[in-house]
Chains A and B, each alone.
Chain A
Amino acid sequence: DAGVIQSPRHEVTEMGQEVTLRCKPISGHDYLFWYRQTMMRGLELLIYFNNNVPIDDSGMPEDRFSAKMPNASFSTLKIQPSEPRDSAVYFCASSLARGKLFFGSGTQLSVL
């Protein structure tokens, strides 16, 4: 298995633009997580899905952020409009077994 695949690896955009981050979880995993990592706040859980259904989105910063999982093999995290403070590394992870998450390589987002 190729592991969790995220795209793009790097994204540079201007303030106000829409940003879409993509994730393909490991086949067969029924949990999918979106985390954000910054120097100031560390790793933060934004939202997670179980069987494509959002379970807990309490970590989503504000209405500018939205996440979808239209099927078991694909998820998106969208930021609209983007702001400089959204600059961070965004990780997607998937899981089957209790507590054992597999993380992707992340998307480095820079909002200018």
Chain B
Amino acid sequence: DAKTTQPTSMDCAEGRAANLPCNHSTISGNEYVYWYRQIHSQGPQYIIHGLKNNETNEMASLIITEDRKSSTLILPHATLRDTAVYYCIASYTGTASKLTFGTGTRLQVTL
């Protein structure tokens, strides 16, 4: 898996968009970018993933740069319940799903 780099922590005001960056400059062509989050004392939760196109679902949007060396997870209207550790993972999974979690970004959403 390619190494990813994320800021240790970020703050966001409730109702604002939270933009969480991730650097994966050594990503290879067949590696996907995955985002998970872990709310305190719960198991990690899948958010979104993509290969090279931008993706959007009911939880978030994923913007991947054209060179694929970085990406941004966007929570369009952050709420207090979005306070969590967010993990960005670059991984080739093929038919398997072996994911290696790093230290992630601790997002604190405040009033």
Which A positions have Cβ atoms within 8 angstroms of B? 4, 31, 33, 35, 42-43, 45, 48, 50, 55-56, 91, 93, 95, 97-106
Contacts and interface: CB of A to CB of B under 8 A. Distances in A.
B43 A105 contact: yes
Contacts, number: 56
Chain A interface, >50% SS class: strand
Main secondary structure, interface of B, reads: loop
Contacts of A99: 32, 34, 49, 91, 93, 97, 99
B28 interface: no
B98 interface: yes
B53 interface: no
Q: What interface size band does chain B fall in? A: 20 to 34
Contact of B98 (A48, A97, A103, A106): A48
A31 B103 CA distance: 24
B101 A43 contact: yes
B76 interface: no
Given A98-B32, A98-B93, A103 B44 contact: yes
Task: From A33, A50, A93, A98, name the one whose CB has the most chain B CB atoms within 10 angstroms.
Answer: A98
Contact of B44 (A31, A50, A56, A91): A91
Nearest to A91: B43
